[in-house]
């Protein structure tokens, strides 16, 4: 055995008797990096038929023994530890390292949970995520309302240009698609009503069905769902792109408030646009129902309007239009909040845009159902 201070080496040769691996030099911690690189180079070339020559092996510590064990494998290291040509201390070190690899370097097989346990775990995680999302939404609503109250009496801080631009984008640009959609739904409701009521000889009441349905529910609901998909996603994508490009950090660096600059104009624009769009949706749906009544039931426009005025009280209109501002506020807040949650990648922008649409539609339907129950109990 040599006990020099030369760095450890591993030389693989092809002798007539088979491959031969010669270990020489000091296999110690100061030479660990070079030894590890050499072991990686020889990975796969050393097999069970390779003869290991340790006659030139110098000093060895735990790090060197670990590299040997990685190179030869645990079983071969255990066999090398039985070599009588090695000093007892060297054999004990190799055996200890080999045993440690067998004991502690094995992957832990996780016991498979029962399907019911996995289902409960997923339900719990979903409920926890829902609760955290609700808290974040409430916190963002509070921040938005604080911004409203802070700037309400400071007209010099109102951003009229931004507000006007967002009203055009969210309101005026949505009129054609909303009017067409409401008109078609009005036609469908009138067709269904005339078909169902014909069995009872009450086809004439299709006028009442169309009027009440669009004034109370369909007008505001169709408008809110359309804007949840069209406007909430746009708000999230716009703010999320700014977040990804670090423009929001730049706004804060300039001493400006992102809520005041980005959120309040969008929320105010939707608060103005959605009630107006709801009114347009009501009119379009009623016109669609009137067209079907004229073509299918021979109810003239004058008769349609007379029945509409006589049978349907104005309360239904108030009930429907009163839902528009809360729906608009929630859609705008959710869209802006999801934009601020974007982490910085294009994938994150897409994920939060989808999340904004889903959350907005869910909240709109939830609020609509709650309002319907409230109005029913109040007798409105």
- Helix then strand then coil, % of the chain, to nearest 5: 75, 5, 20
Name the token pair of 147.
């911004």
Under 8 Å between Cβ of 263 and 336: yes
Higher pLDDT, 190 or 89: 190
Contacts of 162 (CB under 8 A, 6+ apart): 265
Q: Residues 340-347: what's their mean pLDDT? A: 82
Phi, psi of 51 (to 5 degrees): -85, 130
Mean pLDDT for the stretch of residues 240-264: 87
- CA pair distance 255, 308, nearest whole angstrom: 56
The string of DSSP letters for 172-193 reads: GGGHHHHHHHHHHHHHHHHHHH
pLDDT of residue 2 exceeding 60, the answer is no
| Other Cβ atoms closer than 10 A to 276 | 16
pLDDT for 117-140, tens place per residue? 788 888 989 899 889 888 998 999
Note the pLDDT of residue 345: 76
Residue 143's Cβ-count burial label (10 Å; 0-12, 13-18, 19+) is middle
Task: Give 109's pLDDT tier (boundaries 50, 70, 90).
Answer: low
Over 80: is that where the pLDDT of 78 sits? no
List the beta strands (DSSP E) in 48-132.
51-60
Query: What's the full length of the chain, in residues?
Result: 380
Nearest to 364 by CA among 333, 336, 340, 318: 333
pLDDT of residue 112: 61
Angle between helices 264-297 and 115-151 (to 10 degrees): 110
Residue 148 CB contacts under 8 Å (≥ 6 apart), including other chains: 264, 267
pLDDT-derived band of residue 1, with 50, 70 and 90 as boundaries?
Answer: very low
* Residue 267 token pair: 């929320």
Domains, the chain, ranges and CATH? 9-104 (3.30.750), 129-378 (no CATH)
- Per-residue pLDDT averaged across 204-232, rounded? 91
318 vs 235: CA distance, rounded Å: 29
Percent of the chain predicted with pLDDT > 90: 30
Mean pLDDT (the chain) is 85
At residue 152, φ and ψ (nearest 5 deg) are -60, -40
Q: Which two tokens stand for residue 122?
A: 């997923």
Q: Does residue 183 have a pLDDT over 90?
A: yes
Give pLDDT tens digits for 138-150. 999 999 999 888 8
Find out whether 336 and 330 touch, Cβ atoms under 8 Å.
no
Mean pLDDT on 272-286 = 94
Output DSSP code: residue 28.
S
């Amino acid at each position: 055995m040599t006990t020099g201070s030369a760095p450890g080496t591993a030389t693989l040769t092809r002798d007539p008797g088979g491959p031969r691996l010669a270990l020489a030099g000091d296999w110690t911690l100061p030479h660990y990096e070079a030894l590890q690189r050499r072991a990686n180079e020889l990975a796969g070339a050393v097999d069970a038929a390779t003869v290991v020559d340790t006659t030139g092996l110098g000093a060895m510590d735990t790090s060197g023994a670990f590299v040997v064990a990685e190179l030869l494998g645990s079983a071969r290291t255990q066999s090398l530890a039985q070599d009588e040509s090695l000093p007892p201390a060297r054999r004990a070190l190799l055996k200890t390292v080999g045993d440690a690899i067998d004991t502690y370097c094995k992957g832990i097989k996780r016991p498979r949970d029962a399907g019911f346990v996995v289902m409960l775990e997923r339900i719990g995680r979903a409920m926890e995520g829902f609760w955290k999302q609700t808290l974040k939404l409430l916190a963002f609503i509070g921040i938005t309302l604080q911004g409203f109250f802070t700037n309400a009496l400071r007209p010099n801080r109102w951003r009229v240009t931004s507000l006007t631009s967002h009203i055009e984008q969210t309101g005026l640009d949505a009129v054609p698609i909303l009017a067409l959609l409401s008109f078609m739904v009005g036609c469908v409701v009138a067709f269904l009503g005339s078909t169902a009521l014909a069995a009872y000889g009450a086809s004439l009441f299709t006028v009442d069905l169309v009027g009440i349905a669009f004034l109370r529910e369909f007008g505001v609901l169709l408008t809110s769902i359309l804007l949840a998909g069209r406007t909430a996603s746009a708000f999230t994508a716009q703010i999320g792109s700014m977040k990804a490009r670090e423009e929001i950090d730049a706004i804060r660096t300039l001493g400006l408030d992102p809520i005041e600059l980005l959120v309040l104009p969008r929320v105010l624009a939707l608060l103005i646009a959605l009630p107006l769009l709801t009114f347009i949706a009501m009119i379009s749906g009623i016109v669609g129902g009137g067209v079907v009544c004229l073509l299918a039931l021979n109810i003239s426009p004058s008769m349609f309007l007379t029945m509409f005025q006589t049978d349907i009280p104005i309360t239904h209109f108030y009930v429907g239009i009163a839902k528009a501002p809360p729906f608009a506020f929630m859609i705008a807040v959710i869209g802006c909040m999801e934009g601020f949650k974007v982490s910085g990648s294009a994938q994150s922008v897409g994920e939060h845009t989808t999340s904004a649409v889903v959350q907005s539609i869910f909240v709109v339907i939830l609020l609509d159902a709650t309002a319907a129950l409230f109005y029913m109990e109040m007798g409105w």
